[in-house]
Structure 1
Amino acid sequence: MTTTDVTQPVEMTPVMDETGTLLSTLDRIRRTFAWKCGGLSDEQLRQRLEPSKITLGWLLKHLAFCEDHYFTAVLAGNGYPDVWVRYGPDEEGWDWKTEAEDTADGLMELWEGAVARSRRSIAEALGKNGMDTLATNPEWQLEANARRYVADMIEEYARHTGHADLIRESIDGLVGEDPRDGE
């Protein structure tokens, strides 16, 4: 797996403020997720753990889209990046239908790009009014603060990193909560 800032160890000190705690928690679970998906072939990213249809490739694409949805489109108000045009995310089930077209490198780049955009969007929002920055989510037709969007992404990653853990173990036996240095 390529080493990027997403895969670097995350500093979590025993005493942190709210923003530091939330963002460090999000980055730590992103790092664990990247470790579970990294270093695999195209074929391995398409492997399923029966009876589920979920694959690591699908999880990479799904979480990349969630990153861009919550942080780039909703929180920052910048709309969806052009990278999503080729997938047609307005079509029901698009993420399942396009999975076979994707490569391991392409999926990791898609996800890492979404994480980088999210970090910029979060930093921009925090510069406005901290975690109290408000943005309207069109799906909910409600305004929510940055705190809520970050918490929702932590929840999304927690759920899917658990899936990734089981799928990865079934592929090559890799288990654990945090990658060791150099992994």
Structure 2
Amino acid sequence: MTTHEMYTAGEKETLHASLNRHRDVVLWKLQGLDDEQLRRPMTPSGTNLLGLVKHLASVEYGWFVEAFGEEAEPLWFDPYTEDLTIGPGETTRQIADFYGRARAAADRVIAGRPLETLGRPSWRDTTVSLRWVLVHMIEETARHAGHMDIVRELIDGATGDHPRVTDTA
């Protein structure tokens, strides 16, 4: 969907396009960095770019897939204690591919259900609508994309939410 189309799209399409915009920012923040830079802890708590992507993949599976009764892929880590950390055996490709699969699984749930569809996350004693989950995941993804912007700036000075287009004329 183009930006212009998003301005007049329906509610579900607008929410999904907003989520996709922030998802794309997350992936863009990884571009041009080597493995060491992607894993480098940049805060006292250990925040790093690759750990944030792993976390976002985990929550996409949880909120969209598991909460709406679909089967998520088995996780090789504890999503409550290890989703923000990168183990020595985890590769950049593994984490990026994991995020891609989580995103695709979430997109199938979004496409196949109306916004009013109710789901129930296993870790909460509450019922949620797909609409609420979409809004929540826009917030979650945008929040962490902001973290990634700061971490990326600390690594190499790059900032922003999209590549800069330079005038070559």
- TM-score (structure 2 length as normaliser): 0.87
Q: Alignment RMSD, CA only?
A: 1.8
The match for 1:179 is 163
C-alpha distance in 2 between matches for 1:102 and 1:40: 16
Structure 1, unmatched stretches of 5+, are: 1-9
The structure 1 segments of at least 4 consecutive aligned residues displaced by more than 6 Å after TM superposition are none
Worse-matched range after superposition: 155-164 or 97-106: 97-106
- Indicate how the Cα distance of structure 1 residues 98 and 167 shifts in structure 2: closer, same or farther if over 3 A, else same: closer
Structure 2 partner of 1:3 = none
Aligned length: 163
- Structure 1 SS opposite 2:119: strand
| % same residue | 34
CA contact (8 A) 2:52 2:84 kept: no
In the TM superposition, residue 118 of structure 1 has moved relative to its aligned partner by 0.9
Q: Which residue of 2 aligns with 1:69?
A: 62
The two structures have a TM-score, normalised by structure 1, of 0.81
Residue 138 of structure 1, CA deviation: 2.6
How far the C-alpha of 1:98 sits from its partner, in A, is: 4.6
Which of residues 45, 48, 51 is equivalent to 1:58? 51
Aligned to 1:100: 88
Task: Report the residue type matching 2:31 in the other structure.
Answer: G
Map 1:1-183; keep pairs closer than 5 Å: 11-13=2-4, 14-75=7-68, 77-82=69-74, 84=75, 86-89=76-79, 92-96=80-84, 98-125=86-113, 130-180=114-164
CA-CA distance at 1:81 after TM superposition: 1.1
